[in-house]
Amino acid sequence: MIRSFRYTQAEWPISLEELKQRRDQCVKAESRSSIVFLILFFGFLFANVPFVNWIESNATLPVWVKPAWLGLFMVVLIGNLPLMVYLLKRRVRSFGLNCPSCDKMVHAQAMAIAVATGYCSHCGVKLVSDHTFQPPQALR
């Protein structure tokens, strides 16, 4: 899915247009994968209700099925958070949106600052080559 998006593999600092293009394509990929993730996650949650009812009503099942299912349910419920973080980091990297200096993600708030100023909000390195923003004299 990510391969269908195109951006140049230009080295940092890139042009402002390139940065915005990468950001837009990353956001597009993000919203696509969010839809898939939400369908799977809520599908799992809603399917859980009839499945638990079936476990409760079925007396022939071994006694360990109920706690085993509860354990699996909790793993999926809690495990989706680190999975989401992992997928986000992978996606941002695949769009070349990690700072060349500190390797942190140029994403969300850091992206807004990079677009507004042309600099990395984490380490201050110049990210955009053709930005018109001039930092105040004291910060140079």
- Binding residues for Zn ion, per CB under 5 A? 99, 101-102, 120, 122-123
Closest contact distance (angstroms) between CB of 121 and Zn ion is 8
Beta carbon nearer to Zn ion, 68 or 123: 123
CA–CA gap between residue 95 and residue 92 (Å, rounded): 5
Beta carbon nearer to Zn ion, 79 or 135: 135
Beta carbon nearer to Zn ion, 87 or 102: 102
Closest contact distance (angstroms) between CB of 111 and Zn ion is 12
For 18, the 3-state DSSP assignment is helix
Q: Which amino acid is at 20?
A: K
CB neighbour class for 27 (10 Å; exposed up to 12, middle 13-18, buried from 19) = middle
Closest contact distance (angstroms) between CB of 119 and Zn ion is 8
Closest contact distance (angstroms) between CB of 61 and Zn ion is 54
Beta carbon nearer to Zn ion, 23 or 43: 23
Please measure the distance between the N-terminal and C-terminal CA atoms of the chain and give it in whole angstroms. Answer: 41
For 138, the 3-state DSSP assignment is helix
CA–CA gap between residue 84 and residue 24 (Å, rounded): 19
